[in-house]
Amino acid sequence: MIYDKARELSRLLQSSDEYKEFKSARELAMENETTRALINEYHQLQMKVQAAAVTGVKDEPSLERLKKVGEILQFDGNASRYLISEYRLNRILSDVYKILASAVDIDLSALET
C-alpha cells in the first residue's frame, strides 16, 4: 500500500508543471558544453561548501568560486532557467519529505537553514 502510494506520487511529480519545466530547461542548458561544465562545477561547489558548513569549517576559496560561477551562470538564459527550475523542483521534494517525516515524528529541525 505505501509503495503503491509512493509510485503514485512519483507519477504525479513526473506529470507536474515544475518537473516538465525542469526537464525542458535541463535539456537546453546541457546542450552547451561550457554551460554544462559550469553547472556541474556549480553543483560540486555547492556540495563542498555545504559539507564544510556542516562541519563548522568555512571554505572561503570554494565559497568565492561558487559565487563567481553563479554570477556567470546568471548571464546565460538557459542556465539561469535551469537553476531556477531545479530550485523549484527541489523545494517541492523538500516539502514532501517534511510532510512525510512529520507523519512519523522525525525531527528535521537540524536540517533547517
Q: What is the pLDDT of residues 61-100, one digit of tens each?
A: 999 999 999 999 999 999 999 999 999 999 999 999 999 9
The pLDDT assigned to 79 comes to 98
Question: Is the per-residue pLDDT at 107 higher than 90?
Answer: no
Cell 537540524 sits at which residue?
A: 110
- With a CB cutoff of 8 Å and minimum separation 6, the contacts of 50 are none
pLDDT digits (tens, 9 = 90+) for 18-40: 999 999 999 999 999 999 999 99
Query: 112: pLDDT confidence band, cut at 50, 70 and 90?
Result: low
